[in-house]
Amino acid sequence: MSRKKEEINEVPLFCDALLKRAVDLGASDIYLLPGAEETAFRCRVNGIQHDLDRVPAAFGVQCTARFKVMAGMLSYRSQIAQDGAIRHVPGLGKVEFRVASMPTIHGERLTIRLFDRRFGQESLDELGFQDEMTATLRAILKRPTGLVILTGPTGCGKTTTIYAMLRELLVREEDPSSIITIEDPVECEIDGISQISLPRGDAEWNYAAALRSALRHDVKTLMIGEMRDREVVKVALDAALTGHRIISTYHAGDIPSVFARLLHQGFEPFLVGAAVSGVVAQRLVHTADGNGRIPIAAALAVTDQWRDFLAEAPSPAAIRDRISDTPEADLESVARSLSETGIILEKEVYLL
């Protein structure tokens, strides 16, 4: 049932209370969903959406404006998509909120993502992966050059893994001045390394431009938040071939799809094989006891045999068949193994 407007505290108090409630529930996201008569507030906890509240549409519009002002967005611009960040809410000092708006027929939809400011502090051993996976990640990082690609859906923990990889390099005493990150925006500050936060909507200072600039600064390791287009991928591949370690995310889904998409984008098979040193596919899945979610991952450390295979320009089906013969690189095989040991339920295997 919708609550009457007179039953609701004034907008600022209501919005602050909503954020606090979501934090207390351990939510990863809050959704403000406008309708013809009502605005629904929902949140995502351990991958499952829950109702938070429903308010009259007019009050929902006021809440939208409040959140946008808090996030440094233009409250009077409602017909364009915007994004911003809420850096501080009284009583919630450790949490930052990333806000994205989008116009719909009934008003602006908001998605608010919650970030703990301690995010990105984990080591590889603290990520929750199986020991074999952690060992594979370390083996990939021992290679001084090459492109390391992480793939998986939004919110699966790719960035957390990348920061743990950067911290692993620092533990190994890699010079911090030789590490540069290029992000949109910077998710976690790491003392000593150079981090570039790209401004939204800047056609000149983008991933490709920042990457080319960084390569002129005697860098050994470059982290690219996302390889969004062919130009960025091309620069990353070239950098990997010229003696740099590149770590980035790439929208593909799983390891076979990473190679299939790179080849589909027109990159020469020998170039892909020579430049890519490792690929990691990651997911978050529910535990069998229902108490939360754990990360699972498949990883492939590229070998000379893989390079020879890729040089033959294999079809997507052939790549998938080859991966299925490498259990540690096949996400379904990894999940099935965890299911057989009772860590996750069998149904999670079919939801990947």
Record the pTM: 0.85
Region of 257 please: left (phi>0), alpha (psi -120 to 50) or beta. alpha
- Give the β-pairing of 95-104 and 107-116: antiparallel
Name the pLDDT band for 12 (thresholds 50, 70, 90). Answer: very high
Q: What is the mean pLDDT of the chain?
A: 91
H-only helix segments in 71-151: 131-142
The residue ranges of every structural domain in the chain are 5-116, 124-349
Q: Find out if CATH 3.40.50.300 is the number for domain 124-349.
A: yes
Per residue in 163-216, pLDDT tens?
Answer: 999 999 999 989 999 999 999 888 888 888 999 998 776 778 999 999 999 999
Average pLDDT rounded to a whole number, residues 124-147: 94
pLDDT above 70: residue 307 = yes
Q: How far apart are CA 120 and CA 188, in angstroms?
A: 6
pLDDT score of 333 more than 50: yes
Torsion of the alpha carbons at 57, 63, 68 and 70, rounded to the nearest 10: 180
Higher pLDDT, 117 or 340: 340
Contact of 109 with 101, CB cutoff 8 Å: yes
Per-residue pLDDT tens for 28-45? 999 999 999 999 999 999
Omega before 185 within 30 of 0, i.e. cis: yes
Q: CATH class for domain 5-116?
A: alpha beta
Spatial separation of the C-alpha atoms in residues 49 and 63, rounded to whole Å: 20
What are 254-299's pLDDT values in tens digits?
Answer: 999 999 999 999 999 999 999 999 999 999 999 998 888 899 999 9
The 3-class secondary structure across 205-259, one letter per residue, is CCHHHHHHHHCCCCCCEEEECCCCCHHHHHHHHHHHHCCCEEEEECCCCCHHHHH
